[in-house]
Amino acid sequence: MGKGKKCAKFLISCLSSLKIKEVFQLNIPQRIRLNRANMLKAIILIGGPLKGTRFRPLSLDIPKPLFPVAGLPMIQHHIEACAKVPDLSEVLIIGAYPKNDLSQFVQQMSSTYGIVIRYLQEFTPLGTAGGMYHFRDQIRSGSPSYFFIMNGDVCADFPLLEMVEFHKSKQALLTIMATEATRQQSLNYGCMVLGKEGEVAHYVEKPSTFVSTLINCGVYLASLEIFQTMADVFHANQQQDHLMQLCGNGRDPAHIAFERDILTRLAGSGRLFALPVLRWWSQVKTAGSAIYANRHYLALYKQKQPNRLASMSNDSCNIIGDVYIHPSATVHLTSMLGPNVSIGPNTIIEPGVRIRESIVLANTHIHAHSLILHSIIGTGTSVGEWARVEGTPCDPNPNKPFAKMENLPLFNVNGKLNPSITILGTSVSLAAEKILLNSIVLPHKELTRNYKNEIIL
């Protein structure tokens, strides 16, 4: 007993000492110790492996949210934007991917940005709002003042600080980041009509006829009271589900679509607002839109983080425009890269190579004097000497103000392959002196002849 009392006294003296307190504080991320009264959180919705089929074959080997754009996984750009918001202490990623697919990424991001990042896995599809309602206790924990909601498949120069100020000034329940689109393209998005004070008077998700050119960007700022609206929808679904089951046609009442079930309900209430922005924004639904997003993120690097871009020097290759080269990549001095090129880790680029408007993923080998234009080269792929890999640009129409990416399907109405960028999946081998034009190659293929406008299965 005597020894026990001595041990207890020793522990108490240690815990009360200043030095031990300082050690404990060093182990706590800085954001956790901020003023709880102004705490913010962020939710990133990433879907699951059954979604994003238009992104294949790139999403066959890597989850789409982790696909590298401008050298960083797609949703790292979201996390980086969130980390710049004062008082934002936690990022919750909600999706249906297995935890093992994201565990290493989550751990790395948390240590990189010094904020708490957690992945919450859905085991059944619950819709864009159903997942948030299911994990409402984790989101409300700590009583954040507001929380961001960000779709994982959008890329943008995120105006998060402006959204916070706007949301506060309007005392809004929910604020939508909005932008302009063309009249025809607006039919592919959620469209809204605003009142004089910026409140959303009318909202329609993917209307069949023209409503407005102002569209939903899939980025929101919400107050905690939004969960009451979700609860109202959930209980209404339960009642409807009971009636439907009597007719033998029920659905899961926990499935809630944020756009159709929540935004439509709030429109006209005076609590839903939209902040129109002129900054760059794009969805990433197809591989072609990844090339477009890559270009714009590289341009943002030039404005805000120029140290991330490769620069011309005596011991570097020829650089044109904005180019990202991973530090572990080996690029020969006589090669020419750019504009708008990203080179992944451990890539080898031999003499005389020319790459433009393309993404080259990790562990690839681009042999001497090959040419790569408007293409994505998959992980572990080899492109032979004097080979040519070329795709068709899928950029928005520059002659139409506010035009967005079209995100066309693979095939047109006549059953022919739509012109698109060229994609080489993981571990593809293209023989020397071969030409690959406007084609999509699935993983682990050996190409020994020329291809044009084909899908190589």
For 337-349, the pLDDT digits (tens) are 999 999 999 999 9
Q: What angle do CA 41, 110, 364 make, to 5 degrees?
A: 125
Instruction: Tell which residue, 373, 360, 378, has the closest CA to residue 57.
Output: 378
Q: What is the rounded average pLDDT of the residues 49-75?
A: 86
What pLDDT is recorded for position 22? 31
- Considering the domain boundaries, does residue 56 fall inside one? yes
Same domain, 216 and 168: yes
Same domain, 411 and 381: yes
Hey, what are 448's tokens?
């020994």
Hey, what are 336's tokens?
């020419």
Same domain, 263 and 302: no
What DSSP state is assigned to residue 419?
P
Q: Are 369 and 415 in contact (CB under 8 A)?
A: no
Same domain, 131 and 223: yes
- Report the alpha-carbon distance of residue 210 to residue 392 in Å, rounded: 30
Which tens digits make up the pLDDT trace of 126-185?
Answer: 888 999 999 999 999 999 999 999 999 999 999 999 999 999 999 999 999 999 998 888
Please give the residue range of the domain that contains residue 378.
287-452
Q: Exposure of 5 by Cβ count < 10 A (0-12 exposed, 13-18 middle, 19+ buried)?
A: exposed
Hey, what are 347's tokens?
């890539």
Same domain, 400 and 349: yes
The CATH code of the domain that includes 409 is 2.160.10.10
Same domain, 297 and 329: yes
- Report the alpha-carbon distance of residue 155 to residue 296 in Å, rounded: 9
Q: C-alpha 391: how far from its chain's center?
A: 23
What pLDDT is recorded for position 101? 92
Hey, what are 262's tokens?
């929540």
Same domain, 276 and 135: yes
Hey, what are 111's tokens?
């240590």
Is 307's pLDDT higher than 90? Answer: yes
What pLDDT is recorded for position 237? 77
- Considering the domain boundaries, does residue 32 fall inside one? no
* Domain closes at, from 240, 258, 283: 283
What pLDDT is recorded for position 48? 86
- Considering the domain boundaries, does residue 182 fall inside one? yes
Which tens digits make up the pLDDT trace of 389-422?
Answer: 999 887 666 656 666 766 666 666 676 677 788 9
- Report the alpha-carbon distance of residue 219 to residue 411 in Å, rounded: 30
Is 10's pLDDT higher than 50? Answer: no
Which tens digits make up the pLDDT trace of 419-457?
Answer: 788 999 999 999 999 999 999 999 999 999 999 988 898
- Report the alpha-carbon distance of residue 120 to residue 263 in Å, rounded: 23
Which tens digits make up the pLDDT trace of 268-301?
Answer: 999 999 999 998 898 888 888 899 999 999 999 9
The CATH code of the domain that includes 136 is 3.90.550.10
* Domain closes at, from 283, 303, 322: 283
Q: Are 147 and 175 in contact (CB under 8 A)?
A: no
Is 246's pLDDT higher than 50? Answer: no
- Report the alpha-carbon distance of residue 375 to residue 61 in Å, rounded: 18
